[in-house]
Homo-oligomer: A and B are copies of this chain.
Amino acid sequence: MRPVQLAVIDLGSNSFRLVVFTATGGEWKRTDEIYEPVRIGEGMAATGELGQGPMERALSAFDVFAHFCRAAGLGLDQVDAVATSAIRDATNAEAFLDRARERSGLPVRVLTREEEAHYGYLAAVNSTTLADGCVLDLGGGSMQLTQVAGRLETASASWRLGAVRMTERFLPGDEPASRKQLDKLRAHVTTKLERAAWLTECGPRLVGLGGTVRNLASAVQRAADEPSIGVQGQCVSTEALDELIERLAELPPAERSKIPGIKPARADLVLAGATVIRTVMDVGGFAALETTEAGLREGVFFAHLLADEGGVVEDVRQSSVARLAAQYPSDIAHTAHVERLALGLFDETAAAGLHDGDPVERELLSAAAALHDIGMSVDYDDHHKHSRYLILSAGLPGFSPTEVALIAQAARYHRKGMPDAGPMDGLLADKRDLARLDRMSVLVRLAEDLERSRDQSVRAAHLEVGSKRARLRLEADGDTAVPRWAAGRETELFQRAFGRALEV
């Protein structure tokens, strides 16, 4: 199938960004990106209009983007340039847009607040499992909140509470922030939020988008000494956010990037942003903020890609796994058969009372089985470790970091060794997680053993479980010397995972 490309240009208040998405069949990925820290909204809080310097920077960046699109052979119908708060609200926006269009030949869609909120909603529901709750999208200029019920957007609103704007108005200058300044900002946000009465009646989950959210999540991850595997799905509790705000406030803006996870380019904006978010959590009664790395640009892309499905992916977790698996050449019949055998053994061990058959664990096992061999595309040697690297590097939207770590470690242990948290130490500290990892690993491993010759000759496996022993019985076409030899090596791990001596 011929790949389809779409460039989304996001003219934000803080930065301009061009992202090229390439879709092939049902799969898609980002294939290029250009970033310029334009800060077109700089100074607007005071004047209400785009400043001369920011405008010149913006025009020249947009011009480069337009040249790039032409050179890359992207037609006008393959480029969607959207502008948000700063340009939407500037009193001199028309003049800027005219000049931009004249110089570049590219039209710009100035998004309404509703449209901006809608794209944020699409980004959130397509990159998390959010069904009931709220989406928070904090940019440099504005903040959008969208109520989600049954995965549908049921209400939304937008405020000029962006991080650049709030910094300029409430936390200007080079000094640490005083309690009084922060209180004023909080009071301002609280008052503004009053017009969204529905905010107090959302479902329990809050999903956050945007650079500020990602930076805060990263800082919280680093503070908790968790492995840096990206912030997709990372949860920030009110307590962790309070602590972070306190540390940020004590430092002058220029030094805030000394806190691990805070990027220098955001050091001056992040405190105001954090305070706005914290106030939303307070008013809405949200205990935690879930991070997604998707944002406005992905939302715009989803709206194009999934126009027929209302922009919404049916099952985000399943789609993430399928998308990652499809990225690498693989023996599809083998992988599917390993997954089937592993899930069969999961169900049998659950029925025998060896574990409680948690459907989430079953889903994680299914993902680990589907992805166990992707590392083969790097090299046969250590392909179990390469599978882990590929899973952690690309991420799996819809899964929490702990869940991704479990999938990655189970793939890593699909051949040999006794499973442990390894580099995922900070994420898999809980004993229950380690027990889950043992079960997942041994089941993927047994399934792989039974399918060691990659010929699907073992149709099914059954376990007869006694109080001390578990007997594996194979239904097979042809002989079973290889599967029996292979499965015979798993007795040690099986004993640890299920407390039974495995007999094949």
Q: How near does chain B come to A356, taking the closest CB pair, in angstroms?
A: 35
Q: Are A31 and B376 in contact (CB under 8 A)?
A: yes
Q: Cα distance A32–B393 when bound, in Å?
A: 25
B380, B390, B394, B485: which contacts A32 (Cβ < 8 A)? B380
Q: Are B73 and A455 in contact (CB under 8 A)?
A: yes
Q: Are B380 and A64 in contact (CB under 8 A)?
A: no
Number of copies: 2
A67 and B482 in contact (CB under 8 A), knowing A386-B393, A455-B72? yes
Q: Is A436's beta carbon under 8 Å from chain B?
A: no
Q: Is A378's beta carbon under 8 Å from chain B?
A: yes
Q: Are A479 and B382 in contact (CB under 8 A)?
A: no
Q: How near does chain B come to A397, taking the closest CB pair, in angstroms?
A: 12
List which A432-460 residues lie within 8 A (CB) of chain B: 452-455, 457
List which A1-45 residues lie within 8 A (CB) of chain B: 29-33
Interface string of A417-441 (1 = CB under 8 A from B): 0000000000000000000000000
B32, B377, B452: which contacts A68 (Cβ < 8 A)? B452
B381, B390, B457: which contacts A71 (Cβ < 8 A)? B457
Q: Cα distance A178–B381 when bound, in Å?
A: 37
Interface string of A378-401 (1 = CB under 8 A from B): 111110001001100111000000
A479 and B67 in contact (CB under 8 A), knowing A33-B380, A72-B455? yes
Task: Return the chain B residue nearest A453 by Cβ.
Answer: B71
Q: Is A150's beta carbon under 8 Å from chain B?
A: no
On chain B, the residues within 8 Å of A379 by CB distance are 29, 393-395
Q: Are A72 and B380 in contact (CB under 8 A)?
A: no
On chain B, the residues within 8 Å of A452 by CB distance are 68
B30, B386, B454, B482: which contacts A380 (Cβ < 8 A)? B30
Q: Are A377 and B327 in contact (CB under 8 A)?
A: yes
Task: Return the chain B residue nearest A480 by Cβ.
Answer: B67
B378, B381, B457: which contacts A390 (Cβ < 8 A)? B378
List which A461-504 residues lie within 8 A (CB) of chain B: 478-479, 481-482, 485
Q: Cα distance A94–B455 when bound, in Å?
A: 33
Q: Is A403's beta carbon under 8 Å from chain B?
A: no
Q: Cα distance A393–B390 when bound, in Å?
A: 12
Q: Is A89's beta carbon under 8 Å from chain B?
A: no
Q: Cα distance A465–B478 when bound, in Å?
A: 73
On chain B, the residues within 8 Å of A255 by CB distance are none
Q: Are B380 and A29 in contact (CB under 8 A)?
A: yes
On chain B, the residues within 8 Å of A49 by CB distance are none
Q: Cα distance A45–B386 when bound, in Å?
A: 41
Q: How near does chain B come to A24, taking the closest CB pair, in angstroms?
A: 10
On chain B, the residues within 8 Å of A479 by CB distance are 67
Q: Is A63's beta carbon under 8 Å from chain B?
A: yes
Q: How near does chain B come to A236, taking the closest CB pair, in angstroms?
A: 21
Q: Cα distance A73–B455 when bound, in Å?
A: 8
On chain B, the residues within 8 Å of A29 by CB distance are 379-380
Q: Are A72 and B453 in contact (CB under 8 A)?
A: yes
Q: How near does chain B come to A325, taking the closest CB pair, in angstroms?
A: 13
Q: Cα distance A32–B381 when bound, in Å?
A: 9
Q: Are A454 and B72 in contact (CB under 8 A)?
A: yes
On chain B, the residues within 8 Å of A393 by CB distance are 378-379, 382, 386, 389
Top-4 shortest CB links A-B: A71-B453, A67-B481, A30-B380, A379-B394
20 contacts between A and B (CB under 8 A): A29-B380, A30-B381, A31-B376, A33-B380, A63-B481, A64-B482, A67-B453, A67-B479, A67-B481, A68-B453, A71-B454, A71-B455, A71-B478, A72-B454, A72-B455, A378-B394, A379-B393, A379-B395, A389-B389, A389-B393
Since A64-B482, A73-B455 are in contact, a sample of 13 more A-B pairs with Cβ atoms closer than 8 Å, ordered by chain A residue number, is: A30-B381, A31-B376, A33-B380, A64-B481, A67-B479, A67-B482, A68-B452, A71-B482, A377-B377, A378-B389, A378-B393, A386-B393, A389-B393
